[in-house]
């Protein structure tokens, strides 16, 4: 393979080096795209036109570009603190119960194709994680950092697992249509997107049951972690 044939792959080492050096991800990806386009002979005008076309055609990217500034503005006005205060006033709310409810809603909406209603940036970070932490704080008092990190990790995992197994049920989901096209291209006929969606239901139910079992044990796990932390703090103070 000649150097000319390898030039289109120049974007890969740029991305790896950029992420390794912890540069701005958006800047790294943009530079990698520009370098790849120029290496295959695209002029700058055509390259910028392609960038603009892909940006406009990517609805999900447009949604994030519009939502993220709004979320940032709301956070600057105390969205996370208000969510924590509100959930702390509910005596029956626990971290596990909040995550269970969110999981069911997220998976159900994902099955209907409404995947962009929730998400890590627009829901988990500003709302779900603060509510989960608020419920634990109301029950156990001020939480140490490692407990907060554990609750945040469970919040993020809850969103990921729910939407991952829920969206496959939606017959117009990109992955379902990709599998349908792949099967037909390889001569496997008679399998429609509806069949793929139906076969995704048992997997989604299994994911729901397994994750509910994990979340059912979360409150007890947090209680044990808090007790161990307080014991350690007491020993340190006594020493």
Asked whether 123 and 162 are in contact (CB, 8 A), the reply is no
For 119-155, b where at least 16 C-beta lie within 10 A, e where not — what string?
Answer: beebbbbbbbbbbbbbbbbbbbeebeeebbebbbebb
CA distance 130 to 87: 9
The residues spanned by each domain of the chain are 3-57, 92-238
* pTM confidence score: 0.67
Which residues lie closer than 8 Å to 68 by C-beta, 6 or more apart? Answer: 121, 122
Q: What token pair was written down for 224?
A: 């044990």
Select from 58, 49, 1, 26 the least CA-distant residue to 9. 1
**Tens digit of pLDDT at every position of the chain (239 positions):** 565 667 778 888 888 898 888 887 778 888 888 888 888 888 888 887 777 776 655 555 555 555 666 666 666 767 667 776 777 677 778 999 999 999 999 999 999 988 878 888 788 988 899 889 989 988 888 889 999 999 999 999 999 999 999 988 888 777 777 777 888 888 887 778 888 888 889 999 999 999 999 999 999 999 999 999 988 887 443 33
């Amino acid at each position: 393979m000649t150097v000319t044939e390898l030039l289109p792959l120049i974007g890969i080492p740029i991305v790896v080096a950029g992420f390794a050096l912890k540069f701005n991800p958006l800047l790294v990806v943009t530079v990698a795209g520009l370098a790849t386009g120029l290496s295959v002979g695209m002029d700058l005008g055509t390259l910028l036109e392609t960038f603009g076309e892909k940006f406009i055609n990517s609805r999900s990217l447009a949604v994030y570009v519009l939502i993220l500034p709004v979320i940032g503005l709301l956070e600057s006005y105390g969205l996370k603190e208000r969510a924590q205060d509100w959930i702390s006033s509910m005596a029956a709310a626990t971290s596990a119960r909040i995550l269970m409810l969110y999981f069911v809603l997220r998976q159900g909406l994902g099955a209907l194709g409404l995947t962009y209603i929730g998400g890590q940036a627009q829901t988990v970070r500003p709302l779900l994680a603060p509510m989960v932490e608020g419920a634990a704080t109301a029950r156990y008092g001020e939480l140490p950092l490692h407990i907060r990190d554990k609750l945040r990790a469970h919040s993020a995992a809850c969103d990921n697992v729910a939407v991952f197994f829920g969206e496959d049920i939606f017959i117009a989901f990109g992955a379902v249509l990709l599998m349908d096209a792949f099967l037909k291209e390889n001569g496997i006929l008679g399998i429609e997107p509806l069949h793929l969606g139906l076969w995704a239901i048992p997997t989604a139910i299994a994911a729901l049951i397994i994750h509910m079992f994990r979340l059912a044990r979360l409150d007890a796990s947090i209680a044990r972690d808090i007790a161990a932390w307080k014991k350690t703090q007491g020993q340190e103070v006594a020493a």
